[in-house]
Chain A
Amino acid sequence: MSELAIRRGAAPALAVRGLDYSYPRASKPALVDVSLEIAPGEFVLLAGRSASGKSTLLKAACGLVPHFHGGEIEGEVRVADLDALPAGPGELAAAVGYLAQDPETQVVSTTVAAEIELPLEMRGDAPTDRARAVEEVALALAIPHLLDRAVDTLSGGELQRVALAAALVTRPRLILLDEPTSQLDPVAGDELIWLLRRLNEEWGVAVLLAEHRLERCLAAADRVVAMEDGGIAFDGPPRDFLRWSHDNDAALTTPAARLFSLAGLESLPVGVRDARQTLRGTGIGHPPHIASRRVPDPRPFEPVLETKNLWVELDRGEEMRDVLRGIDLEVRPGERIALMGRNGAGKSTLLRTAAGLHEPVAGKLSLDSIALLTQNPSDYLVRERVGDELPGDVGLAVLRVVGLEHAVDADPRDLSGGERQRLALAIALAGRMEGEQLPAVVALDEPTRGMDRARKDDLVALIRSLAGGGVAFVDKETTKATRPAAVVVATHDVEFASAFAERVVLLGEGVVIADGPMEEILSGGWYFATEVARVLDAPGVVTPEQGAALLRGELG
């Protein structure tokens, strides 16, 4: 087929037929009899739990599987009528762009302009054509101001946009994205999804987007494909997908759909706008505003972490910058706190300063003891046996706290993602416990990156158990008060925060801009608000359960 025909969209953007694939030395196939067709200009959302085959399917569509990863493959993959199996990723690059999760390894040049220009240069385009294409894609993605910057001075969100620009500069017919919002704050994440929708509508680029946080992108999608154990379990419109996930896999449903389902409403909404329209149609309209009902429990202990006018300065590029600017904060035992804010707001810096990795330049920080788990749990795992990481009785005791006592002889690399995270937490806790008593503060930095709902639910349960249900108790035999740990979690994930937190501290440019009960903070804004809060716009109502109770008239 001629290039002109492909450009005009005569061929499907992606056609997969009967695809089976196994990674080298894998015990079971990663893809099983996958058949899928994506029309030009379609926006398809790829849903599924972790390890269901989403990433492998994307890699097969861009040629990395099998050309780069090896393994055994059968079936047919055609991208814009090019046979992907004999063609390599380089040849396919003209027709398909690919954006993976980690933007750091997706840039190979020193400056942004050179990075975006590289695929065109490799293709042999003339300098004038390259200059125009770079300018246009930079304008489309609103990054012309970054063109002369060095890539190692960019933030994660900026780097993600640059990688997307490099994937789009060849004007591909199809763009594949593997959890592109996992490292972005809610604002940047929403911006990216709507940017994709705009490119899809205005340029006619077909989009295949793998994502866990479906509530972010379901409304933008034309169609949803759900994967399960390497095969396609569902393929249809978003509204039908919600019905299917409600009946088959509740972990894949969205908060708004769960709200409607719990409230007994038949038609499940694909987004906030749809939910509001449906509510108006049913006569419920705008729910009554109710006052925040939550009153924080009085805590019997003094603060375990206290900062007064805390200032921290860090070297950013070639200049020093105040990352924290006069933070005042008190954390008491048993509190479960979500630390939220945009990328670069100072969340990680606050936790790292509390853990002693940064020195404050001014102010006061008092702290009993802290165990901090940073963003990459794998960084804590350096040995080949769990028991070697945590030797002796102390090690066993701490493994018991995180529920991994059965895995003493396992190789950390054989553990699941959630188990590796718990092991890393155990390593951070080891030796910081007094008997059964946890450190005063347990801090987790962005622990839900790349996690599906089921794993997030496990993490919520772990956080609740670490915080002792938020209640201090007195041992009857020793009459000694047991102090629960305060758990502080830096996160971008609003829905996750609503599931575990009782208090939210919102940071903006290094200062605390809001601090209060979770229900109040997560229902009082637009970006830092849950989907249910955005649907109902009722103060204090953030979870599907609360929303359903409100809709059923049980509140207010």
Chain B
Amino acid sequence: MRAPFAYKPRRGPLQDASPGAAVAYLGSIVVVAFLYLNPLVLLAAGAAATLAGILAGARAAVRSAMKMALSLALLIAFVNALVTSRGETVIARLGDWPLFGRVDVTLEAIVAGVSYGLLAAATIVAFAVYSACVDPDRVLRTLRPLAGRSALTATLVSRLVPVAAADAARLRDAAALRGPAAAPVGKAPLARRLLAGSLDRAVDVAATLELRGYSLDAPRARNRRSRSRYDRRFYAVAALVLATAIAGKILGADDFQAYPTVAIGFGPATLAVATVVTLSGFAPFRRAVKRRPLQASRRPEVARV
């Protein structure tokens, strides 16, 4: 079974774009999420990442990321509500808790938690889309001339992750198949065994890299497909998103205050930033090529004699 975030070769603007353009585009969405606390802008960033993933054909990755992100967002909101007693609108007084002290759940703490949760969610979805759509081989190829050792480590790790996942699945099966009178296998011995096996696997993968000539100091060749016709589009969208986000920040688009009472700005600047960020999600859109239907040849008449 493949991991939903695993890269799958497909044809599409985001997949065809050079790693630099794809990283710039998805990175700009993440930057917006980190620059803003306004939930509307954060929602827009999440929507942009989701749209980008769907248009790029990475529905499975987006779906899995959404599940993970929403769980995390809810957890953050829940924890923030418990640990922060600031805010004037008390929803529930839960009394004194060990470690927490007096727990008052306030609307402001919940909204602030939701805001942090949205930040995390937008980031997770953007990274999931990156993982599913950007070819790691091309990223590593770009990285190799700049940082050979880092690229080697990244290659080793990127290959070891699926190998270790397969090993872990096999070990789990073997543990399930042990007879009831065999010593039970806890998580610790299993993890130890997996680690020991991973070291052996790492040696095998490293040997393969060695055989492929990874340690050679040969002149690095120019890469094919280093640029794509979609690069300009993604760089332009990234620049537009960043410029709008920075301008919006300066103009007060990040108008959000959680404490002592919630105040969310919906002014023109905020709406403009949210609109631009949301629309940036359409960047991986590809217009379907219209094919002219072939003219059906006329059926020959049956000759009657």
- Residues in A lying within 8 Å of B, measured CB to CB: 62, 64, 67-68, 88-91, 93, 98, 100, 102, 104-111, 114, 118-127, 130-131, 148-150, 152-153, 166-167, 315-318, 352, 355-357, 371-374, 376, 378-383, 388-392, 394-395, 398, 424, 427-432
Contact = CB atoms under 8 A, between A and B. Distances in A.
B159 A123 contact: no
B9 A111 contact: yes
Given A105-B205, A374-B177, A389-B183, A131 B224 contact: yes
A49 to B, nearest CB: 23
Contacts, number: 179
Interface stretch (B85-93, B109-117, B122-130, B208-216): B208-216
Nearest to A372: B177
Given A111-B135, A127-B222, A150-B7, A90 B179 contact: no
Interface of B: 1-2, 6-9, 60, 135-138, 141, 155-156, 158-159, 162-163, 166, 170-171, 173-183, 185, 189-190, 192-193, 197, 201, 204-216, 218-224
B210 A89 contact: yes
B186 to A, nearest CB: 9
B179 A431 contact: yes
A398 B13 CA distance: 60
9 contacts: A104-B163, A110-B136, A127-B221, A131-B224, A318-B60, A378-B197, A379-B174, A427-B178, A431-B179
A150 B9 contact: yes
A335 to B, nearest CB: 21
A68 B182 CA distance: 38
Nearest to A108: B159
A103 to B, nearest CB: 10
A547 B144 CA distance: 60
B212 A382 contact: no
A105 B203 CA distance: 9
Contact of A318 (B8, B179, B197, B215): B8
A318 B56 CA distance: 16
A440 to B, nearest CB: 14
Given A122-B216, A430-B179, A431-B181, A150 B204 contact: no
Contacts of A104: 163, 166
Contacts of B189: 382-383
Closest 7 CB pairs of A and B: A431-B181, A430-B179, A431-B180, A122-B213, A105-B204, A379-B174, A114-B137
Contacts of B175: 382
Contacts of B193: 381-382
Nearest to A424: B174
Contacts of B183: 383, 388-391
Nearest to B179: A430
B2 A108 contact: no
Contacts of A105: 163, 201, 204-205, 208
B173 A379 contact: yes
B223 A127 contact: yes
A107 B222 contact: no
Contact of A124 (B9, B60, B220): B220
A318 to B, nearest CB: 6
A381 to B, nearest CB: 8
Given A124-B220, A127-B221, A398-B179, A106 B208 contact: yes
Given A111-B137, A388-B183, 13 more contacts: A62-B211, A88-B215, A98-B211, A105-B208, A109-B159, A130-B224, A148-B9, A150-B6, A152-B6, A152-B162, A352-B173, A391-B183, A392-B181
B2 A153 contact: yes
Contacts of B182: 389-390, 395, 427-428, 430-431
Contacts of B178: 380, 427-428, 430
A149 B222 contact: no
A428 B177 CA distance: 6
B135 A110 contact: yes
B164 to A, nearest CB: 11
Contact of B137 (A109, A153, A316, A317): A109
Contact of B210 (A64, A110, A153): A64
Contacts of A429: 179
A251 B32 CA distance: 69
Nearest to A68: B207
A111 B171 CA distance: 27
A357 B222 contact: no
With most chain A CB atoms within 10 A of its CB, the pick from B174, B216, B223 is B174
A335 B274 CA distance: 70
Given A383-B189, A398-B179, A427-B182, A149 B9 contact: yes
A108 B155 contact: yes
A427 B185 CA distance: 11
B221 A130 contact: yes
A121 B221 contact: yes
A89 B208 CA distance: 9
A382 B190 contact: yes
A150 to B, nearest CB: 6
Nearest to B210: A89
Contacts of A125: 221
Given A124-B221, A382-B185, A108 B209 contact: yes
Contacts of B2: 150, 152-153, 317-318
Given A371-B179, A376-B170, A382-B193, A127 B211 contact: no
B226 to A, nearest CB: 9
Contacts of B209: 108
Contacts of B179: 371, 398, 427-432
B139 to A, nearest CB: 10
Given A107-B208, A111-B9, A150-B7, A355 B177 contact: yes
B54 to A, nearest CB: 15
Given A110-B7, A126-B222, A430-B178, A379 B163 contact: no
B299 to A, nearest CB: 37
A379 B171 contact: yes
A123 B216 contact: yes
Contacts of A357: 173, 176-177
Contacts of B159: 107-109
Contacts of B163: 104-105
A167 to B, nearest CB: 8
Nearest to B224: A127
Contacts of A356: 176
B158 to A, nearest CB: 7
A334 to B, nearest CB: 21
A374 B218 CA distance: 44
B198 to A, nearest CB: 11
Contacts of A389: 182-183
Contacts of B216: 90-91, 122-123
B16 to A, nearest CB: 12
Nearest to A105: B204
Nearest to B160: A105
A390 B181 contact: yes
B175 to A, nearest CB: 8
B118 to A, nearest CB: 29
Given A90-B210, A123-B218, A150 B177 contact: no
A108 B190 contact: no
B204 A102 contact: yes
Contacts of A107: 159, 208
A76 B60 CA distance: 55
Contacts of A114: 135, 137-138
With most chain A CB atoms within 10 A of its CB, the pick from B176, B190, B207, B213 is B213
A430 B181 contact: yes
Nearest to B219: A124
A104 B204 CA distance: 10
Contacts of B156: 108
A10 B180 CA distance: 64
Contacts of A108: 155-156, 159, 205, 208-209, 212
